[in-house]
Amino acid sequence: LLELRGWVLAEHWFGYGVTATADGPRRVVILARRAFTRRPGVGWVELLREATGWTEPDRCGVDWAATEAALGTVLPGDYKDIVDAFGAGSFDEYLDLLVPGALGTDLVSWGQDMTRYADLYRPYPVHPAPGGLLTWGTSEQEQTFHWLTGPADPDDWPVLVQYPDGEWQRFDCGTGEFVLRLLTDRTPPFAFPPSAGPFPHWFASYELPEG
């Protein structure tokens, strides 16, 4: 390869260059799909801190034993790590975390109220029914983010997104990976609005004073 220039457009890499062949230099065009990669040994919380510029110390104010007892289930470890690090708030003012004890976005209250509105979540059952949904986040665009609970390790629960028109989309990844890719990954099936711009990402805390 004698020369190569590359550009990024949405979920693709485009390259134009010159390669050496037996017949002399030859122009080449390269098209490749971008792949999401995670740096080895780096946790999702650390990556989210880097992506959002979040430098506040861990919040660590949640009684997880009491929370899990109230809900009747152990929760995914990466979700608990995110809450411990960030507390109550919103990523890019797009995805609001449900956090135990948070005013208006209390994970336990939402979870306990889901059975009252079970029809909204069809065709899925709701927790504590076997394999039921448990909501962990909401969006300004009226999307809701859920775990599909089950007998498996909670760290293996997939994420289900419900859209305002009632459609569902499944993501076979954990909470930490999902939040990071929602912010940064333009590759379908992610490609949520926060990933579209070149602007920095941020976390807006509902616990800390502005400024």
pLDDT tens for 19-46 read: 888 888 888 887 655 444 566 778 899 9
For residue 193, what is the DSSP state?
G
- The average pLDDT across 101-125 equals 92
- The average pLDDT across 105-131 equals 92
The encoded tokens of residue 92 equal 């890019």
Alpha-carbon Rg for the chain in angstroms: 21
Residue 116 pLDDT exceeds 80 = yes
8 A C-beta contact, residue 107 and residue 67: yes
Specify the pLDDT at position 206. 87
Q: What is the mean pLDDT of the chain?
A: 85
Query: Which of 54-68, 138-152, 176-190 bottoms out in mean pLDDT, i.e. has the lowest?
Result: 176-190
Whole-prediction pTM value? 0.78
Burial class (CB in 10 A: 0-12, 13-18, 19+), 150: middle
Residue 190 pLDDT exceeds 70 = no
- The average pLDDT across 105-116 equals 92
- The average pLDDT across 130-138 equals 95
- The average pLDDT across 120-129 equals 93
The encoded tokens of residue 21 equal 């062949």
Q: Give the Cα-Cα-Cα angle 94, 97, 99 (nearest 5 degrees).
A: 160
d(CA 194, CA 200): 10
Query: Which of 3-7, 65-69, 151-155 bottoms out in mean pLDDT, i.e. has the lowest?
Result: 3-7
The encoded tokens of residue 23 equal 């017949």
Find, among 107, 118, 158, 70, the residue nearest to 126 by Cα.
118
Residue 140 pLDDT exceeds 70 = yes
8 A C-beta contact, residue 158 and residue 149: no
Characterize 1-22 residue by residue with b for buried, 16 or more Cβ atoms within 10 angstroms of its Cβ, and e for exposed.
eeeeeeeeeebeeeeeeeeeee
- Phi and psi (nearest 5°) for 181? -75, -30
8 A C-beta contact, residue 128 and residue 137: no
Specify the pLDDT at position 34. 46
- The average pLDDT across 115-132 equals 92
